[in-house]
């Protein structure tokens, strides 16, 4: 072997936008790529506010943080983080209904047959059964407001869940910014005033800033949020509008004082014109009303939101406008969009940060190499776009399920989404579940079979039949096995510590969040 890649040219990567997407991208690129080969610059402006509100995440975020080598205790302390075991849905499906979409499994696959078949069989046979939700460890822990790390022994019922976080997204972006700048990412404060394109290729060549400075680069990452400054406004990549399936187009966000107990889950409560989120952080609770301007007036939504806060409002509700959908491509020419610049799906299943994470990791794998790679390789872009599409389309179907499967009759929004034509891929999934408790099973993209199970059943779909392979388990044993399972869950959860106690031991933030020195630089 000869020498390593040494004094080759570098690839200049310019990230536009310093919100969660921009700094996650900067952090990952600087951690995973050779600094001698990739020069990473991020341009952001203090004049532009980030969307960042209280953010709820999925368990994958831990892999991302671990990959960066981030210390969990420190990260949670600095972002006012709390733990999250799932999402509680209230009044979805029908008024008064409650279920949790847990980050965990339901039951056990006895005889190699998925649990829901055994459960449906037991119910149809008239055996004594508890509701499906009672057979998930993570759900039970949510109800008990408890938290502990999952057990590593995979035979233990305490190993059957994963966890994510709630945190302040602005603090997370600041945290990653410090992390990235310390590792060589160049940060430029400034407002992009003009985007100069290469005459022949149409590729982005230079960004001219309001300050008069200009930044040139080889690859531009558009993390500019809804504006989609480079991919949308400059490269003119088309938009797929999904609002016919996901009609919500506004959100009002407001923080309020924290109340006890500190719940280890996000809450989503369905409303006449949409739904209200509730994200408990250490120092406050984030709230927001996601609504459709077609079905409810903004003032009405604001009143409802404020009336439902369980703590004192800390600010005036802030309005956000959006449209569900995605760009036809996430990568065009030498521009890659990550985060809101590439598409928007409402935060109903806390997918925003995961979409960023997935795109960032795909980008790290497919990023052009310096030298000969200065030429943008359309084959790499094609694969990146294919992966992006899988991510967006899978999540879309899962979100639409929450809406379409409802019995909230007489409310215009809910009548509309119940009756609207939905993607065929989703129709088939719902019908197969109702017919025979069959669950979608795919390897790429969100969500797992257990996730589908929680929402399908939670929205009120009840299977009429089950997989006949379940009949191999003697029915005499079934009731006993169900009872034993529930007893194991209940007794284990009863010994867990509360989330509040756990956090105070593990990662409590300062009572009053300090203005971090780095944040003011």
Q: Does 210 bind another protein (CB under 8 A)?
A: no
Q: Annotated catalytic sites, by residue?
A: 84
Residue from the set 33, 48, 461, 508 that interacts with another protein by CB under 8 A: 33
Residue from the set 241, 468, 477, 510 that interacts with another protein by CB under 8 A: 468
CB of 445 to another protein, least distance (A): 9
Toward another protein, which CB reaches closer, 39 or 298?
39
Tokens 């966890």, residue?
A: 163
> What are the backbone dihedrals phi and psi of residue 139, each rounded to the nearest 5 degrees, phi first?
-65, -45
CB of 476 to another protein, least distance (A): 13
Cα 150 to Cα 142: distance, rounded to the nearest angstrom? 14
CB of 465 to another protein, least distance (A): 4
Q: Does 38 bind another protein (CB under 8 A)?
A: yes
Q: Does 444 bind another protein (CB under 8 A)?
A: yes
Size of the site for another protein (CB under 8 A): 41
Q: Does 436 bind another protein (CB under 8 A)?
A: yes
Tokens 């060549």, residue?
A: 205
Please enumerate in sequence order all residues whose Cβ is within 8 A of that of 472, keeping only pairs 6 or more positions apart, or say none.
111, 113
Cα 265 to Cα 276: distance, rounded to the nearest angstrom? 14
Rounded to whole angstroms, what are the CA distances from 487 to 104, 136, 151, 499?
Answer: 17, 11, 18, 22
Cα 264 to Cα 142: distance, rounded to the nearest angstrom? 6
Q: Does 149 bind another protein (CB under 8 A)?
A: no
Beta bridge partners of 43: 16, 188
How far from chain centre, in Å, is Cα 75?
18
Cα 499 to Cα 84: distance, rounded to the nearest angstrom? 9
Please enumerate in sequence order all residues whose Cβ is within 8 A of that of 195, keeping only pairs 6 or more positions apart, or say none.
204, 206, 207, 208, 229, 230, 233, 234
Residue from the set 442, 484, 494, 510 that interacts with another protein by CB under 8 A: 442
Angle between helices 20-32 and 352-366 (to 10 degrees): 30
Q: Are 11 and 373 in contact (CB under 8 A)?
A: yes
User: In this chain, which stretch among 274-282, 293-301, 319-327, 359-367 interacts with another protein, using CB under 8 A?
Assistant: 359-367
Toward another protein, which CB reaches closer, 149 or 442?
442
86 closest CA partner among 135, 132, 145: 145
Toward another protein, which CB reaches closer, 33 or 48?
33
* Residue count (the chain): 521
Q: Are 305 and 196 in contact (CB under 8 A)?
A: no
CB of 362 to another protein, least distance (A): 10
Tokens 């790429």, residue?
A: 444
Cα 313 to Cα 376: distance, rounded to the nearest angstrom? 49
User: In this chain, which stretch among 30-38, 81-89, 139-147, 159-167 interacts with another protein, using CB under 8 A?
Assistant: 30-38
CB of 464 to another protein, least distance (A): 8
CB of 274 to another protein, least distance (A): 32
Restricted to residues 374-433, the positions that interact with another protein (CB under 8 A) are: 377, 379-380, 382-383, 386-387, 428, 431-432
Q: Does 119 bind another protein (CB under 8 A)?
A: no
User: How are beta strands 86-90 and 266-271 bridged, if at all?
Assistant: parallel
Residue from the set 27, 367, 426, 456 that interacts with another protein by CB under 8 A: 367
Q: Are 85 and 142 in contact (CB under 8 A)?
A: yes
DSSP SS3 for 302 = helix
Residue from the set 74, 365, 407, 494 that interacts with another protein by CB under 8 A: 365
Toward another protein, which CB reaches closer, 33 or 94?
33
Q: Does 443 bind another protein (CB under 8 A)?
A: yes
Toward another protein, which CB reaches closer, 253 or 470?
470
> What are the backbone dihedrals phi and psi of residue 253, each rounded to the nearest 5 degrees, phi first?
-115, 140
Buried b (16+ CB within 10 A) or exposed e, 187-209: bbebebeebebeeeeebbbebeb
CB of 448 to another protein, least distance (A): 14
Q: Does 3 bind another protein (CB under 8 A)?
A: yes
Q: Does 9 bind another protein (CB under 8 A)?
A: no
Please enumerate in sequence order all residues whose Cβ is within 8 A of that of 340, keeping only pairs 6 or more positions apart, or say none.
21, 51, 225, 226, 228, 322, 352
CB of 24 to another protein, least distance (A): 16
Toward another protein, which CB reaches closer, 35 or 191?
35
Toward another protein, which CB reaches closer, 292 or 391?
391
Toward another protein, which CB reaches closer, 87 or 437?
437
Q: Does 471 bind another protein (CB under 8 A)?
A: yes
Q: Does 127 bind another protein (CB under 8 A)?
A: no
Toward another protein, which CB reaches closer, 117 or 408?
117
Q: Are 509 and 283 in contact (CB under 8 A)?
A: yes
Toward another protein, which CB reaches closer, 468 or 516?
468
Q: Does 435 bind another protein (CB under 8 A)?
A: yes
CB of 439 to another protein, least distance (A): 10
Residue from the set 10, 37, 272, 479 that interacts with another protein by CB under 8 A: 37
- Residues 208, 209, 211, 212, Cα dihedral to 10°: 0
Q: What does the DSSP assignment read for 174-192?
A: HHHHHHHHHTT-EEEE--E
CB of 429 to another protein, least distance (A): 9
Footprint of another protein on this chain (CB under 8 A)?
1-5, 32-34, 37-38, 364-369, 372-373, 377, 379-380, 382-383, 386-387, 428, 431-432, 435-436, 438, 442-444, 465-469, 471-472
């Amino acid at each position: 072997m000869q020498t390593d890649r040494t004094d080759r040219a570098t690839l200049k990567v310019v990230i536009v936008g310093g919100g969660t997407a921009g700094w996650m991208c900067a952090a990952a690129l600087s951690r995973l790529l050779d600094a001698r080969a990739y020069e990473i610059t991020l341009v952001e402006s203090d004049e532009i506010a980030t969307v960042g509100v209280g953010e709820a995440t999925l368990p994958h975020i831990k892999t991302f943080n671990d990959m960066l080598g981030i210390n969990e205790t420190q990260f949670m302390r600095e972002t006012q983080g709390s733990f999250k075991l799932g999402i509680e849905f209230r009044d979805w499906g029908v008024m008064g209904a409650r279920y949790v979409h847990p980050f965990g499994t339901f039951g056990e696959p006895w005889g190699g047959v998925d649990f829901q078949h055994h459960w449906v069989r037991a119910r149809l046979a008239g055996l004594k059964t508890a509701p499906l939700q009672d057979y998930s460890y993570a759900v039970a822990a949510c109800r008990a407001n408890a938290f502990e790390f999952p057990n590593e022994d995979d035979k233990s019922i305490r190993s059957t869940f994963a966890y994510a976080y709630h945190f302040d997204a602005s603090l997370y972006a600041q945290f990653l910014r410090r992390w990235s700048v310390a590792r060589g990412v160049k940060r430029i404060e400034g407002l992009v005033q003009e985007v100069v394109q290469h005459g022949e290729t149409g590729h982005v060549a230079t960004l001219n800033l309001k300050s008069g400075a200009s930044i040139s680069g080889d690859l531009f990452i558009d993390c500019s949020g809804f504006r989609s400054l480079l991919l949308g406004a400059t490269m003119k990549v088309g938009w797929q509008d999904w609002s016919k399936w996901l009609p919500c187009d506004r959100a009002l966000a407001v923080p309020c004082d924290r109340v006890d107990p500190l719940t280890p889950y996000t809450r989503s409560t369905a409303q006449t014109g949409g739904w209200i989120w509730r994200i408990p952080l250490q120092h406050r609770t984030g709230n927001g009303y996601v609504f459709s301007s077609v079905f409810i007036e903004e003032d009405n939504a604001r009143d409802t939101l404020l009336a439902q806060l369980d703590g004192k409002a800390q600010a005036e509700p802030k309005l956000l406008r959006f449209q569900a959908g995605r760009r036809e491509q996430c990568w065009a020419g030498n521009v890659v969009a990550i985060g809101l610049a590439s598409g928007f799906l409402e935060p109903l299943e806390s997918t925003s940060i995961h979409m960023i994470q997935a795109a960032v990791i795909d980008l790290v794998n497919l990023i052009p190499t310096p030298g000969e790679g200065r030429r943008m390789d359309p084959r790499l872009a094609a694969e990146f776009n294919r992966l992006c599409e899988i991510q967006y389309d899978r999540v879309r179907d899962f979100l639409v399920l929450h809406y379409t499967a409802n019995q909230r009759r007489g409310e215009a929004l809910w009548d509309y989404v119940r009756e609207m034509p939905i993607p065929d891929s989703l129709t088939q999934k719902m019908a197969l579940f109702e017919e025979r408790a069959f669950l979608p099973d795919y390897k790429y993209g969100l969500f797992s079979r257990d996730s589908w199970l929680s929402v399908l059943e939670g929205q009120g779909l009840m299977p009429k039949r089950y997989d006949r392979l379940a009949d191999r388990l003697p029915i005499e044993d079934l009731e006993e096995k169900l009872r034993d399972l529930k007893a194991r869950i209940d007794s284990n959860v009863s010994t867990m510590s509360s989330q509040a106690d756990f956090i105070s031991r593990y990662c409590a933030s300062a009572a009053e969040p300090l203005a971090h020195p780095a944040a003011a630089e």
